[in-house]
């Protein structure tokens, strides 16, 4: 399945014989079967023609409207077809304190563990007060997870972890971007927001496809989040996917003197890097060699299994660190990334 990114106002679109075609400057850029489109992500004030909107609704393809910084402007989607079996189990799980506690603790542990692994990876040749404090604090939180009295306390663990973790992230940004200027820091913050939005939206489409109701969450069930269950799954993937991507992208962009590039060109480069990141293959502890994209899908399926009682508890993804390698030990050589991108 393919995500269609629309970033330029001068692109035009046609539907022909169940194919979606994109044109720019009167030349066809690409053509893709409609059945292969998982979602549209539109950046800025770009209007899709009525014919495309009709096809979107007919085929239940969600459309997300974002600013270039990742702020959500709105979405178009049909009511999802939720499998009644899963919805019933989700509703029953609300009152299953043991299940909710175990699942929440697994997700939070994976979040803390992957943040710790990420910092270990990036500080193999550099350390600072901020990074060491974050590593020590994340270890302390992981050790104390079993004695946290409630899910609310687990949420507080996440909040406290993020405060010291992103101070360390800023410290790394300073080092790897050679004393970054304010514009670089601002861009990195925008990339983080955009990356988190793309991750959450992708997880959301997987939840709908799997037949899970996106509003029945465990960690983010307080009504503050628009897509609470997607936010639940996102916590364990933000460090290895979004944070690692943003620091790499910002470092490469800054060191290549790219500050003069147009924002639209920068956005397209980031989206290309985002798709390449999702296609990076890792060694999954239960499924072997899979891409990050497939890995997220596997974790959604793992949650369904735990919800139905097919497995004892939800098993999150935990990355391993090897000081003798330049990346996570789970990561294997990236296979050729293919991106469908509308410029």
- Residue ranges of domains in the chain: 2-76, 84-337
Interstrand relation of 63-66 and 341-342 (parallel, antiparallel or unpaired):
unpaired
Residue 53, both tokens: 């909107």
For residues 255-275, average pLDDT:
75
pLDDT of residue 332: 45
DSSP per-residue codes, 224-243:
--SSHHHHHHHTTTIIIIII
What fold, for 84-337? Answer: 1.20.120
Q: Strands across the sheet with 19-24, in order? A: 11-16, 19-24, 27-33
% helix, strand, coil for the chain, step of 5: 50, 15, 35
* pLDDT number for residue 286: 81
Residue 323 burial class via C-beta count within 10 angstroms: exposed 0-12, middle 13-18, buried 19 and up: exposed
3-state secondary structure of 112: helix
Contact 195, 241 (CB under 8 A): yes
Cα separation, 218 vs 251, whole angstroms: 35
Please, what is the average pLDDT of the chain? 85
- The Cα 195–Cα 210 span in angstroms is 23
282 vs 288: CA distance, rounded Å = 8
pLDDT score, position 14:
87
Architecture of domain 2-76: Ribosomal Protein L15; Chain: K; domain 2 (3.100)
pLDDT for 150-159, tens place per residue?
999 999 999 9
Query: Cα angle vertex 103, ends 237, 93, to 5°?
Result: 125
Higher-scoring residue by pLDDT: 288, 248: 248
Q: DSSP letter string over 59-87?
A: TT--EEEE-TT--EEEEE-PPP---HHHH
How many CB atoms lie under 10 A from the CB of residue 195? 23
Cβ proximity of 293 and 287 under 8 Å: no
pLDDT classification of 101: cutoffs 50, 70, 90: very high
Report how far residue 191's alpha carbon sits from residue 319's, in angstroms, rounded to the nearest whole number.
23
Query: Do 151 and 219 form a contact (C-beta atoms < 8 A)?
Result: yes
Question: In this structure, what is the dihedral angle of CA atoms 192, 206, 80, 339, given to the nearest 10 degrees?
Answer: 70
| pLDDT reported for residue 329 | 44
- Does residue 261 register a pLDDT over 90? no
Closest CA to 114 of 232, 17, 242: 242
Contact 156/199 with Cβ under 8 angstroms? no
| Residue recorded with tokens 């080092």 | 175
Share of the chain above pLDDT 90, in %: 50
Check residue 179 and give its pLDDT.
Answer: 63
pLDDT average, residue stretch 284-306: 91
The better pLDDT of the pair 16, 109 is held by: 109
Q: Are 157 and 109 in contact (CB under 8 A)?
A: no
Residue with tokens 């956005």: 267
Distance of CA 106 to the CA centre of its chain: 18
């Amino acid at each position: 399945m393919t995500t269609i990114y629309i970033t330029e106002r001068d692109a035009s679109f046609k539907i022909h014989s169940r194919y979606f075609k994109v044109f720019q400057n009167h030349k066809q850029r690409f053509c893709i079967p409609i059945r292969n489109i998982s979602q549209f992500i539109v950046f800025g004030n770009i209007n899709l023609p009525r014919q495309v909107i009709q096809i979107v609704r007919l085929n239940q393809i969600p459309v997300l409207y974002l600013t270039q910084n990742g702020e959500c402007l709105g979405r178009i989607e049909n009511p999802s077809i939720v499998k009644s079996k899963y919805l019933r189990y989700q509703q029953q799980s609300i009152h299953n304190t043991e299940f909710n506690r175990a699942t929440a603790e697994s997700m939070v542990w994976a979040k803390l563990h992957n943040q710790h692994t990420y910092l270990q990876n990036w500080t193999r040749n550099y350390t600072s007060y901020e990074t060491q404090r974050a590593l020590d604090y994340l270890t302390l939180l992981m050790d104390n997870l079993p004695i946290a009295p409630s899910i609310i306390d687990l949420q507080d663990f996440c909040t406290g972890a993020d405060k010291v973790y992103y101070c360390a992230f800023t410290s790394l940004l300073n080092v790897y971007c050679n004393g970054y200027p304010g514009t670089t820091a601002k861009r990195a913050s925008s990339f983080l927001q955009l990356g988190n939005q793309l991750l959450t939206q992708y997880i959301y489409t997987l939840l709908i496809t799997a037949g899970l109701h996106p509003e029945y969450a465990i960690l983010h069930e307080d009504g503050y989040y628009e897509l609470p269950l997607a936010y639940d799954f996102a916590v364990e993937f933000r460090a290895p996917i979004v944070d690692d991507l943003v620091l790499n992208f910002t470092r490469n962009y800054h060191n290549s003197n790219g500050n003069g590039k147009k924002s639209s060109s920068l956005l397209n480069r980031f989206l290309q890097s985002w798709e390449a990141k999702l296609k990076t293959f890792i060694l999954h502890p239960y499924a072997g060699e899979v891409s990050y994209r497939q890995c997220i899908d596997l974790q959604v399926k793992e949650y369904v299994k735990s919800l139905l009682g097919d497995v004892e508890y939800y098993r999150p993804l935990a990355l391993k660190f090897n000081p003798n390698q330049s990346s996570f030990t789970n990561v294997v050589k990236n296979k050729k990334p293919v991106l469908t991108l509308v410029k």
